[in-house]
């Protein structure tokens, strides 16, 4: 394994379930420390998430193509943190949570990475 790509006899493949598991471990540690430091604002907690967990979730997303990352979306790592930070129930609508925190789903971040990478290649 090199970063997030598994090299097999048939070629390399990226396992989104592995990334989801690694990100879940990271977010559980992050949550453990975030709730010890109660003086941090929600904005700063989300910045820590963006810097520590999002790179794990989006590792190699530029070369995945338009792969949905179903395992990543299934465990809702991002949404779990957002709902926990707001202190709302798990059954609260996701769109309301995203709107309140001015966030977007991780799928949108991956699509942005793909387009950014493609334009970088085209301009080379």
Each residue's pLDDT tens digit, 44-90: 989 998 998 888 877 777 776 666 666 666 667 788 888 988 999 98
> How confident is the model at residue 97, as a pLDDT?
92
| Residue 107: HSE in the Cβ half-sphere, 13 Å Cα cutoff | 12
Minimal CA–CA distance to 97: which of 46, 32, 31? 46
The pTM of this model reads: 0.74
Which helix H or strand E contains 14, and what residues bound it? strand 11-14
Count Cβ neighbours within 10 Å for each residue of 82-106 and write b for 16 or more, e otherwise.
bbebeeeeeeeeeeebbeebebeeb
9 versus 68: the higher-pLDDT residue is 68
Q: Looking at the predicted structure, is the pLDDT value of residue 5 above 60? A: no
> How confident is the model at residue 91, as a pLDDT?
92
């Amino acid at each position: 394994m090199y970063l997030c790509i598994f090299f097999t006899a048939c070629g390399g493949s990226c396992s989104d379930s592995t990334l989801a598991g690694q990100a879940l471990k990271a977010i559980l540690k992050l949550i453990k420390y975030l709730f010890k430091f109660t003086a941090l604002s929600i904005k700063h907690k989300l910045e820590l998430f963006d810097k520590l967990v999002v790179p794990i979730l989006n590792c190699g997303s530029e070369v995945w193509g338009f792969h949905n990352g179903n395992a990543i979306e299934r465990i809702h790592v991002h949404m779990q943190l957002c709902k926990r930070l707001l202190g709302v129930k798990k059954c609260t609508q996701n769109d309301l949570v995203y709107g309140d925190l001015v966030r977007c789903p991780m799928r949108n971040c991956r699509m942005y990475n793909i387009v950014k990478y493609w334009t970088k290649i085209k301009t080379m």
